[in-house]
């Protein structure tokens, strides 16, 4: 088809439209792909341009060449496509952020509930320990005394303090198996290196 400038009303019949499509599709797709850097998006843009051209085929006013009209249309649709992509990306990022915030909040509430239950269970187990064992554990973990200081304060040997601590920690580990992940964290905080 010879390129022409059309300033009057423009009307496309089906064979002419097919010829225009075949003649310009490849180059328009390449042009849109340069702008979008996305072959599928470029295909969508060019198809939209040709669809609009077909829908407006009667009564369409083109004041430049048909080729210039098609390139200008592809350019504008490509920019609109990019703008919509950015809006979608921002929406996705906002949704992703809100979802992560909600999950973090839910996990935090679950952890708080488990920690509270764990602390109650620990207190119950400590109450059930023999008195000396409970005292040694309390002085070591809550008063932060060294084994030597505990031994001196209670009038027992350091070996006896170690035995009581070993018994207390073993009892806690056995009784709190269901809380193992939290217990590990708790024991790491309690056990002095």
Predicted confidence (pLDDT) per residue in 38-90, tens digit: 888 899 999 999 888 888 877 777 777 888 889 999 999 998 888 888 877 78
- Nearest 5°: phi and psi at 143? -95, -15
* The pLDDT of residue 8: 39
101: pLDDT strictly greater than 80: no
DSSP-assigned letters across all residues of 32-84: HHHHHS-HHHHHHHHHHHHHHHHHT-SSEE-SSBHHHHHHHHHHHHHHHHHHH
* The pLDDT of residue 192: 47
* The pLDDT of residue 63: 73
> DSSP label at 142?
T
Per DSSP bridges, beta strands 9-10 and 60-61 are: antiparallel
* The pLDDT of residue 24: 92
Question: Helix, strand or coil for residue 25?
Answer: helix
Specify whether the CB–CB gap between 58 and 29 falls below 8 A.
Answer: no
The CATH number of the structural domain formed by 129-190 is 1.10.10.10
Q: Select from 33, 36, 22, 123 the least CA-distant residue to 79.
A: 36
Q: Which two tokens stand for residue 134?
A: 């409970």
The counts of H helices and E strands in the chain are: 7, 2
What's the pLDDT band for 7 if we cut at 50, 70, 90?
Answer: very low
The mean per-residue pLDDT over the stretch 147-153 comes to 90
Q: What residues does 65 pair with on adjacent strands?
A: 5
Q: How far is CA 135 from the centre of its chain?
A: 47
Question: Helix, strand or coil for residue 10?
Answer: strand
189: pLDDT strictly greater than 70: no
* The pLDDT of residue 3: 47
According to the CATH classification, is domain 9-92 in 1.10.1740.10?
yes
Domain locations along the chain: 9-92, 129-190
Average pLDDT, the chain: 79
Question: Helix, strand or coil for residue 5?
Answer: strand
Question: Helix, strand or coil for residue 9?
Answer: strand
The mean per-residue pLDDT over the stretch 138-154 comes to 88
Q: Which two tokens stand for residue 135?
A: 């005292």
* The pLDDT of residue 187: 60
161: pLDDT strictly greater than 80: yes
């Amino acid at each position: 088809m010879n390129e022409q400038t059309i300033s009057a009303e423009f009307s496309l019949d089906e064979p002419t439209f097919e010829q225009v499509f075949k003649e310009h599709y490849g180059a328009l797709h390449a042009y849109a792909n340069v702008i979008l850097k996305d072959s599928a998006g470029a295909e969508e843009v060019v198809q939209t341009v040709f669809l609009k051209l077909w829908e407006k085929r009667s009564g369409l006013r083109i004041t430049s060449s048909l080729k210039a009209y098609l390139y200008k249309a592809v350019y504008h649709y490509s920019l609109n496509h990019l703008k919509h992509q950015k809006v979608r990306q921002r929406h996705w990022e906002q949704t992703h952020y809100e979802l992560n915030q909600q999950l973090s909040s839910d996990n935090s509430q679950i952890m708080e509930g488990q920690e509270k239950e764990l602390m109650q269970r620990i207190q119950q187990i400590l109450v059930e320990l023999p008195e000396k064992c409970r005292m040694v554990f309390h002085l070591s973990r809550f008063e932060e005394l060294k084994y030597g200081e505990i031994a001196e304060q209670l009038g027992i040997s350091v070996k006896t303090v170690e035995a009581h601590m070993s018994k207390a920690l073993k009892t806690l580990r056995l009784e709190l198996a269901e809380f193992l992940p939290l217990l590990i964290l708790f024991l790491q905080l309690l056990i002095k290196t």
